[in-house]
Chains A and B, each alone.
Chain A
């Protein structure tokens, strides 16, 4: 009996990644987390409209037992609170999403958005400055020309690294409702932005014009029963995008079919399980996030209780379903009462599309290995984890006798929710955001 347990534990470690606790960063309420295409940079957005970018230490500083650590690289105020005078409404500065552009030159570019306005930011480094002007002192004051007796050529001298962020484009006034998604096209020239009822297509160079490509606003708003919850471009086909809805459907659209993509090319929907039907069925079927796999062959959706993997060639049901916290199904009424049932969890793929990850409550997050079908629950908290220690798997006891180290459902803290997670595109490094803290975990290298 005991030996069986030991063997399982051994297999567990071998098959699944063990994560080391590395970095903890305290911030305002984090609202989005995103690695750039190389994984060297990690951007976070917060409720105060700020963006903080972390950079991975370069190779030559790394010690043998770990990869480079992440340190703060740049911080800037992306959005400010605004007031819409026409509607007497405040527009929150909270950053809803950040998306990186692929790097084309020395500078980095990212799109950040709040509820109404998208901004393109350029992040550039400056590590040299010109010195030795003839007409200016080093502090910038002008010299009296009559005191100049010799001429010299100004030269670039090294200086302390300075990282500057400057807004290059502001894409405004195109959304009546709240923006929930932005997604950059694989052509790297256009991107889409989606709000509750409409999706617009932009060109990165043009800010005064956007094309409306999806509009689900009914003529009579009182007939409104469904909203758009997320949207994303296909990673390889520049004409294809998907959007998810509050009724649990995903529509795949082809922009070549027509200018206004109100008619979908494919509709992905799983028939409802009649035995699980309740007044909350629709709410928990609402999709909070949709992400294509890196390969572009699959897409993943997150609803309140599960993560589903869909094959783009099969519309009538997902090919894989993973239960995130099925023990909450019997608590739906309470979760409706305290509004937790409306929490929007995100999900992400690892670089090879073999593992998917999503957050839960009590600062737990879950990973599902698609090949081995194993899953693991880990906790992001400072109390239980010392840096450089391997994370201990957690278990929630749904009912019955609670074993040692298990947590009962009624002890879960529903204020501690992990909504945003991100996985490095190439390595086993993950970023997990609790309400106020960012955690970065890496796997054990040896």
Chain B
């Protein structure tokens, strides 16, 4: 029922059902899974912007999860060092992608964005993540001038580009985006697979060692085998870069 599109790869520790992170056998496998979870979370936040009125509680919880992963990755040293010119603002930059991603969802009132995030975060950690963040970052300094329009403008352009991908969706009901992850109908299923399955295509899915999940049925995800490059490609479509 769940774990659609997540292809289970035999990596030799299938019996691990502890669920505790300490139970994992290889560090690199854990890093990949953590990265997958991060990617999945960022995609979820992006889709948040598509909703007519995003659920604030859900957005905050996902953003906090992203922050946790980023903090852990920074402590591990797996987070790439920031560019020298932005080094002075490193603590803020680390978490900048979260702020940028969630801004449109939270700034419905047109609240003024903090001046401290005006610039300086166009390189460095942002480039490590999906191109989404680097695409949005250059827009950010400009959008601070038009507070009211900025977030909505971003949302509008998301609307347009995602429309190209979501042609198959017939209903005009905005909350259909919310149902994307839980709907069982096959057109939605394929879309869901594209968005989430590809993360688990060529490598273990995010759920494997992290939670000791029982194997999921392969299903259509077999045709969606992809690597990080293809995820970037899809995400580029999302931001019209």
Residue numbers of A with Cβ under 8 A of B are 87-92, 115, 176-178, 196-197, 220-222, 224-227, 229, 246, 275-280, 282-283, 286, 329-340, 342, 399, 409-415
Question: Nearest A residue to B212 by beta-carbon distance?
Answer: A330
* B20-66 interface with A by 8 A CB criterion: 20-21, 34, 37, 40, 44, 52-53, 55-58, 60-61, 63-65
> B201 on the interface (CB 8 Å rule)?
no
Task: Give the 4 A-B residue pairs with the shortest CB-CB distance, closest first.
Answer: A333-B207, A334-B2, A334-B3, A339-B181
Which of B34, B44, B52, B60 sits near A225, CB closer than 8 Å? Answer: B60
Residues from chain A with Cβ under 8 Å of B44 in the complex: 339
> B69 on the interface (CB 8 Å rule)?
yes
CA of A415 to CA of B189, assembled, Å: 14
CA of A19 to CA of B58, assembled, Å: 36
Residues from chain A with Cβ under 8 Å of B1 in the complex: 410-415
- Check if B117 sits within 8 Å of A177, measured CB to CB: no
Question: A331-B2, A339-B182 given as contacts; is B214 within 8 A of A410 (CB)?
Answer: yes
| Residue total for B at the interface (Cβ-Cβ under 8 A) | 54
Residues from chain A with Cβ under 8 Å of B182 in the complex: 338-340, 414-415
> B174 on the interface (CB 8 Å rule)?
yes
Residue numbers of B with Cβ under 8 A of A are 1-4, 6, 17, 19-21, 34, 37, 40, 44, 52-53, 55-58, 60-61, 63-65, 67-69, 99, 102-103, 106-109, 111, 113-114, 117, 152, 174-175, 178, 181-182, 184, 196, 206-207, 210-214, 216
Residues from chain B with Cβ under 8 Å of A278 in the complex: 19-21, 210-211
CA of A278 to CA of B64, assembled, Å: 13
- Check if B103 sits within 8 Å of A222, measured CB to CB: yes
**B93 to chain A: closest CB distance in Å?**
13
- Check if A342 sits within 8 Å of B55, measured CB to CB: yes
Inter-chain pairs besides A225-B64, A278-B19, 16 sampled, C-beta below 8 Å: A176-B109, A197-B56, A222-B99, A278-B211, A279-B34, A279-B37, A282-B61, A282-B65, A330-B17, A331-B2, A333-B211, A334-B216, A336-B40, A337-B206, A339-B182, A340-B2
Residues from chain A with Cβ under 8 Å of B63 in the complex: 225
A to B CB contacts below 8 Å, 23 in the list: A89-B108, A90-B53, A90-B174, A176-B109, A177-B56, A221-B103, A225-B60, A225-B64, A226-B60, A279-B37, A279-B69, A280-B65, A286-B57, A329-B19, A331-B213, A333-B211, A337-B196, A338-B182, A410-B214, A413-B1, A414-B2, A415-B1, A415-B182
Residues from chain B with Cβ under 8 Å of A336 in the complex: 40
CA of A338 to CA of B188, assembled, Å: 12
Residues from chain A with Cβ under 8 Å of B114 in the complex: 220, 222
Question: A222-B113, A329-B19, A414-B1 given as contacts; is B65 within 8 A of A339 (CB)?
Answer: no
